[in-house]
Amino acid sequence: MRAFVLKGEPLTVKIDFTANHYPKSVILFAVFFYVRYGVSYRDLEEIMAERGVEIDHATLNRWVVRFSPLIAANAQGRKRKTVLANGRNLYQGSW
């Protein structure tokens, strides 16, 4: 399920969406919405229904449990390193 790239590149996680009934964009939207806004699964079920996606709250729970750690690991791998310059933290390469 995961693939890590270590040679000179940031640590990235490849997320496999092939075994799911719904498209990748629907899954990512639901997971990001849940994590970002902290709504309940039943509220998220209603929000998705307003957007034309009929899905059960239990499926949303499974997606969050399965994909949120992988998305977080991917985001951590893409974060740029910080360096201390002149007593301030600056992003490397942003000056």
In a domain, 47, yes or no: yes
Note whether 66 and 30 are within 8 A (CB). Answer: no
Give the domain range for residue 77: 24-91
In a domain, 62, yes or no: yes
Please state the rounded mean pLDDT for residues 37-47.
Answer: 94
In a domain, 59, yes or no: yes
Please state the rounded mean pLDDT for residues 53-69.
Answer: 91
In a domain, 51, yes or no: yes
* Total tally of structural domains belonging to the chain: 1
Phi-psi group of 41: left, alpha or beta (phi > 0 → left; psi -120 to 50 → alpha; rest → beta):
alpha
In a domain, 83, yes or no: yes
Is 50 exceeded by the pLDDT of residue 40?
Answer: yes
pLDDT for position 2: 44
